Structure 1
Amino acid sequence: MDHEDVVSLTGLNTICRYQELTKIADKSLQNYAARTRELFGPVAKSFDDDKNAEWLIRSYLALKFVLASTVLGTSANHADNENLKITLPYLNYYTMLNCTRAFIFTLPCVEWKDEKSIEMTHQNIINTAGDKLRRVDGSIALAIKSRLLIGQKQRELFSYRFPATGLSVFKDDLIKVEEAIETARFLAELAQFNLSCLEAAVRKHTELSFKVGGQDNLWDLMRYNTKTQELIDDDDYHRVGYFVRKYRYPSELVSLGTHGLLEDFFGAWVSEDENSQGYNPDEDWNLLLDFQ
């Protein structure tokens, strides 16, 4: 199956060059698409301003987690090339975990519980993903859950114990950067696929456009509470305000990720030293999703 065939399964007329989803058995992906579109049917038929707000929150968070994983993944590539091995367990694990969250946020069969959904524990995230991925393929679900659990333990070992032999302690079980990126890309593409199915379903059932209702919950997109501070992110505030004005119905991730949004997000990680030869966050915006 090529990427155009994958796109056609969503029912949305769009352009997205999928990589990992083209590798799935045709029948498995066809069944997943049919079930996902079926589950989105009732959502689309009863769509209103409050649902529009919910799916804006879910979609914006999913987009940011994919972009965060892109920064982490390109950082892992740089660290691997520059012998910054100590960072790899952390970078590999969170490259995968963030895209796992993006996948879960875009599932029609996972109820949205506001802050509780955002604050899911790592174990809950991994277990939920392992369960829901079985709808794609049982062996893929087992492989990804296993890789996430291994990545979690490798990250924890070098946060709390620190074996003297370094990463060699894992021998052949060490998760490689390319494996983490491949896993993250697969999950990011599923998130994109899911939202394409939702957008197609809403457009099919209504020609209406919607406002963003229930705006108090939008603070979850820009407010970050720590034990010592409550932080409001200016860029998030600006972007959320833009979407409140412009977001009229659900949108796939690659359309939400406008050039300006991507430029600002990755630009936050650019070195202040203009002559720096170090990590370049602009090196590959499309590492995980085809933003074109």
Structure 2
Amino acid sequence: MAVVVGTTMAGQARHRPVVLTTQEKSTMNFPTIFVPGWHSTGYSTQLITDDIVSLGVTDTVTTVKVSPQGQFEFIGPKPRANSRNLLRIIFVNNRAGEVQYAQWLHQLMNYCYEHFGFRRVNLVGHSMGAYASTLYTFRFGQASGLPRVANLVTIAGPFDGIIGRAPLNSFIHPNDGTTWTDEPHQNRLDQNGRPVLIHPEYARLAQYASGVPKTLRMLNIYGDLGDGSEADGVVTIPSATSIAYLVKNRITVFKQVKVVGPNAQHSALHEHNWEVTQNVVKFLWPVFVAHTTS
């Protein structure tokens, strides 16, 4: 049966049925956790989850407030393990940094494993949330007593530095060494895809990359303003795409999507960005892919 979806930014959306095998259908029924970035609010993950709901993927969205002490408040429906529930994280301390976000994510996944029976999950992260989701997946994505990460979607991930301003020492995060010292055209990827400049956060990912689940499917979305900067205003293309070197020969599926133009601005990539939403839905729940007409 076709699913009727609402009006989108690009016009009227319509659903085109996709025929999936029983196995393919079963792989879509995992809860999906949305991990926000630096200085985020509840608004940070609300817009993209609202758009996903509008496509008929699910009508069950639960907000999870994470306290600085790593305690959880669940607002909304109780999450279910074998479902397409969406969980939206809000970090009460929204400037703790990407390493702390990954630690809180680890605690949350342990809680969901023990209390809700989660055995497989999808992770969708934006900015520092993309980094935190990746670090968590490398370290714990196939650990016992935790849900296995089936699919990982990263949006505007600062995997090898964030664009900063002088004085440079003002843009090194004190808690985890995250560098805000990158600049457009400063770094590049060599012929193998490895970044020429290795910032501390990339070295950290490289340390744990061998632990990534071999069965992982990963989609990496990044932005290019198209103004010659080769960046989304916050993260350069080399930083955002440097993750490919660490995963492409280790996992089952790795895909990258570049968004170009004003809608590719760092924050705009997750704020009612129809191109991004469609790519996320196509990757995680292909039966709900929407095709738009003007």
User: Using CA pairs below 8 Å that are at least 6 residues apart, which structure has the higher relative contact order?
Assistant: 1
TM-score by length of 1: 0.27
Structure with bigger strand share is 2
The structure with the largest alpha-carbon Rg is 1
TM-score by length of 2: 0.26
